[in-house]
């Protein structure tokens, strides 16, 4: 790169180029040089080589043909269906707390299947660690193209298996979150903390000890919930806040709905009182007793049976009379609304319009 070209680069791009992982240009055994890494692969390789890879060791890793034994000879394990898992996208308070996993969507691993997956996961991490040692032992501390390709491949394989184990056990997070009664912690934050604890449990679990992963993961998730609650409690103690009505949830919709119902009830009472719907005397009597109109709503409304005893008919006949009277009132309300709308439209017409 020439001096002029370097001067045209932005400071951010210059920093990125300095941080790129150099790859030794040594040829492979076939005599061909591997393809140049993309920017994404360079960033991932830098991340891999910046920290020593952790893994759970096992004697199986050092046996002859260990890779074939762990991967090729292993049984196929069903992958989970996670389309049901969207707790934060829905109404957290009502839907997510009652959501249950269908049996057709849930994959329950046996102890043997868990050991297979964790051996594959930790062997992939072991291969990453081994390649790291080989790279750091080189004089230039740079991987060859072949080493870079293997590092990326084993790292991505470990990531896929880790994701499969975590997705298979996602139901544990919701189960523990529902069991935990922490009103001061938002349910979405609780689920997020549980997901992170589940991933950390996958990294730390030793399947060689013979225990089920769910036993270890549940305890790790509950401990994470406890830490989250303690952290929030300490924060509130350190930064106490007074009650501020402006920060409370608005009750505009509830107030508007109550006002609308009150206005509608007043209009219906006026229709019945003035008999604008041409109600019969029996229909008016039924409505007044059924909805307490004659007392202004202060007395408790009567039942169908009680009204029937007053006018001397069965409660089924009272229901029929009530429905017929309500239909007349509905027609009157609609005609009144349409008349008001028509008058408003005429008022908005320009003067002199035909």
Residues 165 and 75 in one domain: yes
Residues 156 and 75 in one domain: yes
Is 139 or 296 the better-scoring residue by pLDDT?
139
Helix (H) or strand (E) segment spanning residue 321:
helix 315-348
Residues 94 and 225 in one domain: yes
Alpha-carbon distance of 312 to 124, in angstroms, equals 86
What confidence score (pLDDT) does residue 37 get?
82
- The CATH number given to whatever domain includes residue 232 is 1.20.120.1810
Q: Does 208 map to a domain?
A: yes
Q: How many residues does the chain have?
A: 354
- Provide mean pLDDT across the span 247-269: 77
Residues 45 and 177 in one domain: yes
> Rounded to 10 degrees, what is the CA torsion of 331, 337, 338, 339?
110
Residues 146 and 206 in one domain: yes
Residues 196 and 307 in one domain: no
Q: Does 192 map to a domain?
A: yes
What confidence score (pLDDT) does residue 342 get?
66
Tell me the average pLDDT of the chain: 79
- Provide mean pLDDT across the span 280-284: 88
Q: Is the pLDDT of residue 125 over 80?
A: yes
Residues 164 and 117 in one domain: yes
- Provide mean pLDDT across the span 215-221: 92
**Tokens 């929030």 belong to residue:** 232
∠ CA 306-307-313 to the nearest 5 degrees?
105
Structural domain count, the chain: 2
pTM: 0.57
Q: Is the pLDDT of residue 151 over 80?
A: yes
Check: CB of residue 147 under 8 Å from CB of residue 134.
Answer: yes
- Provide mean pLDDT across the span 35-56: 89
pLDDT tens, residue by residue, 219-244: 999 999 888 888 877 777 777 766 56
- Residue 296: pLDDT band with limits 50, 70, 90: low
What confidence score (pLDDT) does residue 205 get?
94
Q: Is the pLDDT of residue 190 over 60?
A: yes
What confidence score (pLDDT) does residue 255 get?
83
Residues 293 and 198 in one domain: no
Q: Does 23 map to a domain?
A: no
Residues 48 and 75 in one domain: yes
Q: Is the pLDDT of residue 134 over 90?
A: yes
Q: Does 246 map to a domain?
A: no
Is 6 or 185 the better-scoring residue by pLDDT?
185
- Residue 354: pLDDT band with limits 50, 70, 90: very low
Here the tokens at position 69 are 């034994």
Residue 151 CB contacts under 8 Å (≥ 6 apart), including other chains: 45, 48, 49, 128, 131, 132, 135, 143
- The CATH number given to whatever domain includes residue 332 is 1.10.10.10
- Provide mean pLDDT across the span 257-265: 80
Alpha-carbon distance of 27 to 5, in angstroms, equals 29
Q: Does 18 map to a domain?
A: no
The residue segments making up the domain with residue 151 are: 37-238
- Provide mean pLDDT across the span 249-275: 80
What confidence score (pLDDT) does residue 12 get?
63
What confidence score (pLDDT) does residue 187 get?
81
Q: Does 4 map to a domain?
A: no
Q: Is the dihedral of CA 88, 90, 91, 96 positive or negative?
A: negative
What confidence score (pLDDT) does residue 129 get?
95
Q: How far is CA 82 from CA 93, 99, 296, in A?
A: 21, 13, 57
- Provide mean pLDDT across the span 163-189: 84
């Amino acid at each position: 790169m020439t001096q002029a070209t370097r001067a045209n680069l932005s400071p951010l791009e210059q920093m990125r180029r300095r941080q790129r992982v150099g790859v030794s240009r040594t040829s492979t055994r076939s005599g061909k040089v591997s393809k140049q890494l993309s920017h994404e692969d360079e960033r991932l390789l830098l991340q891999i080589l910046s920290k020593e890879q952790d893994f759970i060791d096992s004697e199986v890793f050092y046996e002859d043909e260990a890779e074939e034994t762990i991967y090729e000879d292993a049984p196929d394990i069903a992958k989970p269906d996670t389309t049901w898992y969207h707790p934060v996208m829905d109404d957290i308070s009502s839907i997510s707390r009652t959501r249950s996993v269908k049996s057709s969507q849930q994959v329950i691993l046996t102890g043997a299947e868990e050991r297979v997956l964790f051996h594959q996961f930790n062997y992939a991490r072991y291969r990453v660690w081994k390649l790291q040692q080989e790279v750091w032992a080189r004089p230039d501390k740079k991987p060859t193209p072949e080493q870079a390709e293997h590092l990326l491949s084993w790292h991505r394989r470990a990531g896929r298996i880790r994701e499969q184990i975590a997705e298979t056990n996602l139901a544990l997070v919701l189960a523990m979150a529902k069991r935990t009664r922490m009103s001061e912690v938002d349910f979405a934050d609780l689920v997020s903390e549980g997901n992170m604890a589940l991933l950390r449990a996958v990294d730390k679990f030793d399947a060689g000890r013979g225990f089920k992963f769910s036993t270890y993961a549940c305890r790790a998730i509950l401990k994470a919930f406890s830490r989250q609650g303690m952290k929030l409690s300490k924060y509130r103690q350190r930064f106490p806040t007074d009650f501020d009505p402006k920060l409370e949830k608005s009750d505009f919709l509830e107030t508007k709905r109550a006002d609308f119902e009150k206005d509608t009830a007043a209009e219906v009472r006026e229709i019945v009182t003035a008999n604008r719907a041409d109600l019969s005397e029996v229909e008016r009597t039924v409505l007044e007793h059924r909805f307490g109109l004659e007392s202004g709503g202060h007395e408790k409304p009567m039942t169908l049976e009680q009204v029937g005893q007053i006018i001397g008919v069965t409660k089924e006949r009272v229901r029929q009379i009530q429905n017929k009277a309500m239909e007349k009132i509905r027609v009157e309300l609609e005609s009144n609304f349409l008349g008001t709308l028509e008058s408003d439209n005429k008022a908005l017409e320009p003067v002199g319009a035909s």
